Amino acid sequence: MLVLAVDTATPAVTAGVVEFTVELAGENSDGAPRLLAERVTVDARAHGELLTPHLRDALAEAGRALSEVDAIVCGVGPGPFTGLRAGMVTAAALGHALDRPVYPVCTLDAIAADRPGEPVLVVTDARRREVYWAAYDARGARTAGPEVAPPAEVADRLADLGVTRVAGPPVFDFGLPAVGPEHPSPVGLVAVARADLAAGAEPGALTPLYLRRPDAVEPGARKRVSRV
Amino acid sequence: MTIILGIESSCDETGVGIVRLDRDGGLTLLADEVASSVEQHARFGGVVPEVASRAHLEAMVPTMRRAMTAADIALSDVDAIAVTCGPGLAGALLVGVSAAKAYATALNVPLYGVNHLAGHVAADTLEHGPLPTPTLALLVSGGHSQLLRVDDLAGKITEIGSTIDDAAGEAYDKVARVIGLPYPGGPPIDRAAQRGNPTAIAFPRGLTGPRDAKYDFSFSGLKTAVARWVEARERDGEEVPIDDVAASFQEAVADVLTAKAVRAATELGINTMVISGGVAANSRIKALAAQRCQAAGIELRVPRPRLCTDNGAMMAALGAHLVAAGVKPSSLDLSANPALPVATVSV
Ligand SMILES: [Zn+2]
């Protein structure tokens, strides 16, 4: 199965071409997602500019055509960047134009999928001195989150969360070993959606995880312009 | 024949339009679908960029599907895509530009990143055919108030005047708030003005003094003058004659816009004027422009209201002019430019 993976929920502009074999008789480790090609640029201001060229270039390097793609996997955040929408609308439009399903994946899940083995806290920069975070057990299953909070609040909960490592940018010292990565990989994104992809499941709604309301205040009483 | 898809997302309307360009250069509008987030902004009294951007993301593919159905074509029939890459709200533009790149790549068709303001002018060619050279365009909306000299829709547009503060539509929204009318202010003020006396209150005409920039506009002083006048009444415990305030305000706006536009056309020797943008639907501006253009021997063209407000059809029309003129398509790494100058018709 040939899958395009995109994510723009972190400062990274991520595009990759991933392939895996679907076992007819149940799950098999031979079917793990395999990276054919990727293009990643870390630049929070370049999502809109670079994502489609990255997809095109990754496909070219993989020697595959868009028409061969079976499905698209898209990170849906949480993410504070306007750029989050660049990835999501790109995936939605490709899915429409190619008539292929688009599978939404929590970006933090994809980061956790890249670091299996021990319970891990995944954080990403939410700006405004806050982080998006989620906790995962040793098998990579999410046990808490995703939420947005000041890092000190998350640090206070570490014992409860039972995590022993942290993945994400060094925005705060959680007192845990840092294991990276700071952004999801194409293989991580596809790994999270792998079971649904293999089963041909109906994709969930392609809805961004904003976790915050828009900043907008309703106007109060009219301001007077006259000096009284 | 060539099928051109237009995508617009510079403000609060997600627009997808489809235009057919025939061999003889004729344009036929096949679809014009718009999803508006205007109601979500109403309680804030103005467009909230993050709210608009979120709405664009939700609406983009559904609006595209509706446009395909309306035009009764398949995506594979599309030959070229034109997308607004500026000017406008950065986050809003990003959604349309990203979608357009994805569609263009998946369909393997050329992509044109185009100027929203030029699109407003191109809208008129869908209704009234090719523009004579040169044409004077007056663009008035919540976001723009500009006088443009259009020598070639596909490449040569020159700004000869613009607002130095608020756009005309912004003044409408603010005045509506002052006299207790809903957002957006254009339609309710226009309705109230029909019942009022346009000469009841002498509101100021901005930038009309002998030493002022003759083709530029200013609506900030007018808006403040209306607020002062209303507050003075309220302070004296008198009832505010809403209809007269609306009519007198609207008269001031229409007077300045049409007087400057007609003066520009006359002085520059231009015989055709196009008025477009959301405020072009205003009844008084249209009527006064018609009267003054006729007196000055200028042909006036105003597209129907649906084509005056932001939409994808106008961007498709502009794309069709670029295709017809053989203009080079944009690169796939084009980016949105919130401050794109009007002289840049395509990037
Ligand atoms: Zn506009």
What confidence score (pLDDT) does residue A162 get? 94
pLDDT tens digits along B59-116: 999 999 999 999 999 999 999 999 999 999 999 999 999 999 999 999 999 999 999 9
Residue-wise pLDDT tens digits, B190-234: 999 999 999 999 999 999 999 999 999 999 999 999 999 999 999
Q: What is the DSSP string of B169-216?
A: HHHHHHHHHHTTPPSS-HHHHHHHHHHS-TTSS----TT-STTS-TT-
Q: Closest Cα to residue A76, out of A64, A66, A87, A67?
A: A87
pLDDT band at A110 (very low <50, low <70, confident <90, very high): very high
Sheet holding A120-125, edge to edge: A142-149, A131-136, A120-125, A165-167
Tokens representing residue B271 in the block = 């015989």
Q: What are phi and psi of A108, to 5 degrees?
A: -65, -35
Q: How far apart are CA B305 and CA B84, in angstroms?
A: 20
d(CA B144, CA B346) in angstroms, rounded, equals 19
Residue A26 has pLDDT above 70, yes or no: no
Task: Test B60 with A89 for CB contact under 8 angstroms.
Answer: yes
Strand partners for A3:
A18, A71
Q: Buried b vs exposed e over A89-106: b needs ≥16 C-beta within 10 Å?
A: bbbbbbbbbbebbbbbbb
- Provide mean pLDDT across the span B139-154: 94
- pLDDT in the model for residue B239: 93
Place A221 in a pLDDT band, splitting at 50, 70 and 90: low
**pLDDT higher for A51 or B46?**
A51
Q: Which pLDDT score is estimated for B281?
A: 87
Question: What's CA B3's distance to the chain center, in Å?
Answer: 24
Kindly report, residue by residue over A54-70, the tens digit of the pLDDT.
999 999 999 999 999 99
What's the gap in Å between the CA of A139 and the closest CA on chain B?
A: 34
The distance from CA B291 to its chain's CA centroid, rounded to whole angstroms, is 22
What phi and psi, each to the nearest 5 degrees, are found at residue B14? -95, 115
Give the C-alpha distances (Å, rounded to integers) separating A43 from A13, A167, B12.
Answer: 7, 19, 27
Residue B106: list chain A partners with CB under 8 A: 66, 93-94, 97-98
A113-165 pLDDT, tens per residue? 999 899 999 999 999 999 999 999 999 999 999 999 999 999 999 999 999 99
Q: Pull the structure tokens for residue B158.
A: 């020159």
pLDDT per residue as tens digits for the range A76-102 = 999 987 899 999 999 999 999 999 999
Could you identify the residue written with the tokens 């080079």? B328
The residues facing B157 across adjacent strands are B150
| Confidence category of residue A166, pLDDT binned at 50, 70, 90 | very high
Percent of chain A exceeding pLDDT 70 equals: 93
CB within 8 Å: A55 and B178: no
- Among the partner-chain residues A51, A219, A226, the one whose CB lies closest to the CB of B228 is A226
Q: Which residues neighbour A27 within 8 Å (Cβ) at sequence distance 6 or greater?
A: none
Backbone angles phi, psi at A97, to 5 degrees: -70, -35
Residue B262 has pLDDT above 80, yes or no: yes
pLDDT one-digit tens code per residue, B236-252:
999 999 999 999 999 99
Query: Which of A49, A211, A218 should be substituted to probe chain B, the one whose Cβ sees the most B Cβ atoms within 10 Å?
Result: A49
CB B233 within 8 A of CB B183: no
Q: Please report the pLDDT score of residue B43 as a whole number.
A: 85
Give me the pLDDT at residue A133, please: 97
CATH class, range B135-305: alpha beta
Quick check: B99 contacting A, CB < 8 Å?
Answer: yes
ipTM of model: 0.94
Average pLDDT of the residues in A12-36: 81
Domain covering A115-179 assigned CATH 3.40.50.300 in the classification? no
Architecture of domain B2-123+311-324: 2-Layer Sandwich (3.30)
> Ligand 1: distance of its center to the CA of B37 in Å?
14
CB-CB neighbors (< 8 A) of B90 in chain A: 82
Average pLDDT of span A32-60: 96
- Residue B176 C-alpha, separation from nearest chain A C-alpha, in angstroms: 12
How far is the first Cα of chain A from the last one, in angstroms, to the nearest whole number? 73
Assigned CATH for A2-109+183-199: 3.30.420.40
Domain boundaries, chain A: 2-109+183-199, 115-179
Query: Whole-angstrom Cα distance, residue A122 to residue A114?
Result: 11
**Cα(A133)–Cα(A145) distance, rounded to whole angstroms?**
6
Q: Where are the alpha helices (DSSP H) in chain B?
A: 38-42, 49-71, 90-107, 116-128, 168-178, 186-195, 220-235, 242-268, 283-296, 305-308, 312-324
Q: Kindly report, residue by residue over B21-51, the tens digit of the pLDDT.
A: 999 999 999 999 999 999 999 888 889 999 9
* C-alpha span between A20 and A13 (Å, rounded): 23
pLDDT at A228: 46
Identify the residue with better confidence: B257 or A213.
B257
CB atoms within 10 A of CB B187: 17
A 10 A CB-CB count for B72 gives 10
Ligand 1 centroid to Cα of residue A90, in Å, is 24
Which residue numbers of A have CB closer than 8 Å to B's CBs?
46-53, 55-56, 66, 82-83, 85-98, 208, 210, 214-219, 222, 224-226, 228
Are the CB atoms for B139 and A128 separated by under 8 Å?
no
Contact B320, B21 (CB under 8 A): yes
Distance from CA of B147 to the nearest CA of A (A): 30
Answer whether A85 sits within 8 Å of B90, measured CB to CB.
no
Computed over every residue of chain A, the mean pLDDT equals 92
Residue B75 to residue A96, Cβ atoms within 8 A: yes
Q: Mean of the pLDDT values across residues A205-220?
A: 85
Lowest mean pLDDT among A168-182, A208-222, B54-68, B216-230: A208-222
pLDDT value at residue A213: 85
* Cβ atoms of residues B177 and B186 within 8 Å: no
At A93 the pLDDT is 98
Within chain B, all domains assigned CATH 3.30.420.40 are found at 2-123+311-324, 135-305
